[in-house]
Amino acid sequence: MYAPSLIDVRTLAEFRGEHFFDAPPQPRQTTGHIPGARHLPHTALLRADGTYRPAEELRVLCDQQGLTASREAIPYCAVGIRSALAWFALKHLLGFPHVRSYDGSWNEWSRAKTTGAGNRAEEGL
């Protein structure tokens, strides 16, 4: 199996480092995303009525991000709630065999002193 695919399911503003959760960042808050993470917002997985998109549409979204069942998938968000939606979609709707949720999510990663953060400049966004 290849290296795992980290999947950031937060908003684009959070991924780019423009927001920390639902507001502009405060001093000393680390913003951005885990380096190398792919961006697949949790809202893209859902229809307007809050139900999941059909599996065919979910597969297209995953293909666009280079996510395949042959790689372990690890979704994360800010505290683990939104990533649970992605975990369920990948594991149960698409049948990915190796899916784990990063329960600590951005809340943990951004506070660790030995980790880095990606931002919009790194990704060319």
Enzyme catalytic residues:
77
The phi, psi pair for 121, rounded to 5°, reads -65, -40
34 touches 108 (CB < 8 A)? no
Sequence-ordered list of residues with C-beta below 8 angstroms from that of 82, at least 6 positions apart, any chain: 9, 10, 42
Letter for the amino acid at 118? G
SS3 104: coil
In 3D space, the residue among 103, 123, 115 whose CA is nearest the CA of residue 36 turns out to be 123
